[in-house]
Structure formats: C-alpha cells, structure tokens
Amino acid sequence: MLWVAIRLSRLPLEVFDTPKNTKGCLAVEQNKRILMATKEAVFLGIKPGMKSAMVPALVAEDGGCDLRSRDLEKETEVLKRLASWAYSHTPYIQRYQEDTLLLEVSRCLRLFGSVENLIQELSESLDHMPYSYQLGMAHTEKGAWLLSFQNYELRDKDSHTVFVSRLRESPLDLLTEQELAVSGLQKMGLTKLGEVVDLPSAALGKRFGPGFQAYLQELMGGGEKPPTIYQANEHFCRQIPFAWPVVRTDLLELPAKQLLQQLVDYLVRQQLQCQEIYWHFYSPQGEKHSIEIGCERVHRHWELLFDLTRIRLEQLQLNFEVEMLELECPKTSPVDLGSESLFAWESARIQGNVESLVARLQTRMGRKQLYQVQVRAEHLPELAQTMELPFDTEETVEEAVPRGARPCWLLPKPQPLKRSGNLLYWNDKQINKTLKIIDGPERIEGYWWSQPEARDYFIARRDDSVHCWVYRELNEHQNWYAQGVFA
C-alpha cells in the first residue's frame, strides 16, 4: 500500500477570518492556554503554551489581539469538505489526529500515471485553498503522517526501504500518541525512532506495554489491514461571511456564484444531482430569511442554478442588512448512469433546454403553477390523464395504442348535447352550434366491478369546422355528451 498524508498544520487558526482592526493578530486558546498564534501575535510576545489570561496585558499598548476559543466543529467541517474533494482522487480516505487526512493511493496510480503526477495535481488544488498544508508519503498511514513533518520530495522511485530509512530518522517528539513511552525512552537517552526500533521487541513490550509494540508495527509496517472506503456526507451546506453588511441584493450575486460552483463541484465528485436548494440570509442581529429554489435533475450546470438564483434575488425584498450568505442543499439523488445511444447528443441537448425552461418558469411563477399532462392506465378518457408537476412522475405507463383518434384537449367536464336525427346541438351561453357525426363509433367500457360504464364515441364536425369528440351512453337514457376538441 501507499499512503499520502495531507496535514493542515495551522487549521485551528485558519478556520477563523482575521479581523482587519487587529492587523492580523490572532491567537487560539484551548483549556485556558494558547494553542496557536499568528506571526503578528508571536511578535507581540504571545506564544503557544502560555496562559490565556496573560494576553491582554501583553497587547494592551499595541491595539489588542483577537483571542478565540478553538472551534473543533469548524475544523471538522473543513476536513469533511477536504475529504469530499479528495474523493475524486481515491475512495480510500481516513481522518487522523485533528488536522490530517490519509489517502491510500496505490490503487489509483494508473489513473494519474505516476506518483509525481498525483502529487502535482493534489498540490495545485490545495494551493487554491485558504489552508496551509504539508504532504507526506509512506507505506503505512501513520508513517505518512510522521513524514509530513519532514521536507522530503515525493517521487516514484521511493520504495519501502526508502520509507523505512526516513522513518528511522524521525524524532521521538513527534510520537504524540505515546507520550508516556516517549518520555521513558528519552530518559534512556534515545532521540530517534530508529534507535527504538533496534531495541529487542520483547523488552519494549515488557517495559512499555503491548500497545506501544502495536503502535511501532503500525508505523514501520506489517500486518496492514485493507483500507476502508470513505462514506461521503450527502448534506451540502456552505457559508460566506461578509466583512461589512450587504444592503443590496445585486451585491449578493458574486458570492452566490462562488457557492454554487462549490455545490456543483461537490455534486460531480459524489455523482449526485440536486433537486432543490435553499439560500439563507443572516443579519448582524441574528435575523434569518430563506428562499427555496426548485431545480429538478440539475447536476453539472451551475450557470442554470445561478440564473434561477438571480431571478429570485430580483424578487427579494430584504428589510435587514446581510452579514452572511449560506447555501444549503438538503435533498439530492444519485445520478442516472445508464447507457445512452452513441448519437444521442441532439436529444440530450433538447431535453436539457426543456428542463432549463421549466426551471426558469417555476422560479418566476412558483413551483406548483406549472403542470405536465401524464397518462394513467385507465379505460375512461377523463381518468386516463392527470396533471403532475414536471418531471415528478417516476413510473412510466405502457399504454396500449387506442384504436380510434384522440383529441388534443378534453373538456373539464363533459358537455351535454341534444340530438335530432343525425344532428347534435351544442347549446350553452357561449356556444350555440350544430354538430354532424362524420366517424364512429368506437366502444369504450370499464369498471364492470363497481359502477359499469359503456359508451360509443364518435367524431362530429361543428358548424365552425371544429371537430369534436362526442359519445353516447349505452344505458336506458342514451344521453349524448361532448368530451374533447381536436386541434
């Protein structure tokens, strides 16, 4: 196996935005002691390990320093986003310590061609992220993390022997998981891992316990377990805080575009498609306003999502200043990866245009204001069609081809007709026309098990040359009705 460690060495600091009025002076505390500080804070005398209560006195004459408590939730969220990004390189991802991701890459080297190509691609992507990082590579996961503290060039020709040699040169101070054992070894005058590995294993186990023996084996190799596949988090939620409150909705477009690009990148990597997104607007006073955007079957095209967002922003009336913009995508579904025709580009383009048009219309008019006619497996015409939301029907009805012609439009309710000889009369307040039967009949029957229905359908021509679909009930009344109109 081959492991690459990505260690975010300054993550506790970099999850916070440094306020402008502190000139970059920021320190993070944990358990009432300084955990980490920026260069500006160190210049003022704030050092890791010192008591937090001493900070105000040190910076009183220098304009102050922003002191924050460590936010493990934010750090965890950053690592989750980083794991989601790394999933496009390998599915074998593990979290280690509180600032590191471990990637097993031996199974994906054929995809990238070489270790150098993989490391270059990882580095180029990480360089665009706002986090400091160090890379390490070894034949074991903990060994890769340990070597991330040393500035070795990662190359294809690095072998098991090379990794072992580098690990032997690692200082014992880095073995933070075994503090008691390390303290005892240092009292014996040992300073490097290689010096410990050369000691008799039985003696080490007797003095420092079997746990320390197992730890050394995990570092140096032997008895490796197969890596586990990373289970991605399917809930996307990202925020962009503003340095000053935003009062105009058009100023929200640029950060909205950035968040949408992150969303689509996440969907592509996870092979998902989103069906709805939510925008949340937060005020400095804690007020929250949310809008929903339906985007059925959208997967890779952030431009469409951005167009839908702009439409809603034009309609939005905010009565407060916006301090933070948040994008949430709580509902996703797997992408349909079924095979398609080799020359299906035109049909796919047309389908994409239709879905884009539907999404824009729904955004402007409301999701439930647009419907699509769907076919149902029913005998009676008035029950054979239903109005559904576009793309909302999952089941496809395999209907038999009807023997007779069918009209484009059915009337909301069958219109009663009067008959005299071979002529029918359509009499109501809006239409006063005569109809003449020109084709038929076609018999339709159904519901014999509950309320039997039997009808003879005909095509009739009206005085104004409109062709109508009419029927006669096959019962004792023999009533006539108009049910549809042909185009």
d(CA 41, CA 62): 10
Residues paired with 246 in a beta bridge: 322
pLDDT-derived band at 232, boundaries 50, 70, 90? low
Per-residue confidence (pLDDT) for residue 421, from 0 to 100: 73
User: Mean pLDDT across the stretch 443-465?
Assistant: 85
Per-residue confidence (pLDDT) for residue 366, from 0 to 100: 65
d(CA 435, CA 461): 5
**Which residue ranges form the domains of the chain, and what is each CATH number?**
17-70 (3.40.1170), 74-220 (no CATH), 236-362 (3.30.1490.100), 409-485 (no CATH)
Rg (C-alpha) for the chain, rounded Å, is 35
End-to-end CA distance of the chain: 69
- pLDDT surpasses 80 at 396: no
Dihedral over Cα of 36, 40, 43, 46: its sign: negative
Q: Which residues contact 205 (CB under 8 A, 6 or more apart)?
A: 212, 213
Q: Are 395 and 386 in contact (CB under 8 A)?
A: no
Q: Are 137 and 149 in contact (CB under 8 A)?
A: no
Q: Are 241 and 17 in contact (CB under 8 A)?
A: yes
Q: Is the backbone peptide bond immediately before 441 cis, with ω within 30 degrees of 0? A: yes
Dihedral over Cα of 353, 355, 358, 360: its sign: negative
pLDDT-derived band at 320, boundaries 50, 70, 90? confident
Look at the pTM and tell me if it is higher than 0.85.
Answer: no
pLDDT-derived band at 17, boundaries 50, 70, 90? low
Give pLDDT tens digits for 251-307.
888 899 989 888 888 888 777 888 788 989 888 777 788 888 876 556 567 787 888
d(CA 79, CA 230): 13
Q: Are 237 and 303 in contact (CB under 8 A)?
A: no
Per-residue confidence (pLDDT) for residue 350, from 0 to 100: 47
Of 362, 84, 62, 454, nearest in space to 236 by CA? 84
pLDDT-derived band at 6, boundaries 50, 70, 90? very high
Q: Which residues contact 10 (CB under 8 A, 6 or more apart)?
A: 36, 131, 132
Two tokens, residue 440: 């038929």
The angle, 0 to 180 degrees and rounded to 10, between the axes of the packed helices 345-365 and 302-315 is: 20
Per-residue confidence (pLDDT) for residue 148, from 0 to 100: 92
User: Mean pLDDT across the stretch 195-221?
Assistant: 86
Note the Cα 380 to chain centre separation in Å: 44
Of 132, 163, 159, nearest in space to 150 by CA? 163
Of 173, 31, 171, 6, nearest in space to 90 by CA? 6
Mean pLDDT computed over every residue of the chain: 81
d(CA 224, CA 129): 32
User: Mean pLDDT across the stretch 230-256?
Assistant: 81
Per-residue confidence (pLDDT) for residue 135, from 0 to 100: 94
- pLDDT surpasses 80 at 377: no
Residues paired with 6 in a beta bridge: 101, 135
User: Mean pLDDT across the stretch 195-224?
Assistant: 84
Q: Which residues contact 220 (CB under 8 A, 6 or more apart)?
A: 140, 143, 164, 167, 197
Per-residue confidence (pLDDT) for residue 262, from 0 to 100: 86
Name which of 6-15, 147-156, 261-270 the model is least confident about.
261-270
pLDDT-derived band at 101, boundaries 50, 70, 90? very high
More confident residue, 73 or 341: 73
User: Mean pLDDT across the stretch 22-27?
Assistant: 73
User: Mean pLDDT across the stretch 406-415?
Assistant: 85
Q: What b/e string do you get for 364-376 counting C-beta neighbours within 10 Å, with b at 16 or more?
A: eeebeeeeeebee
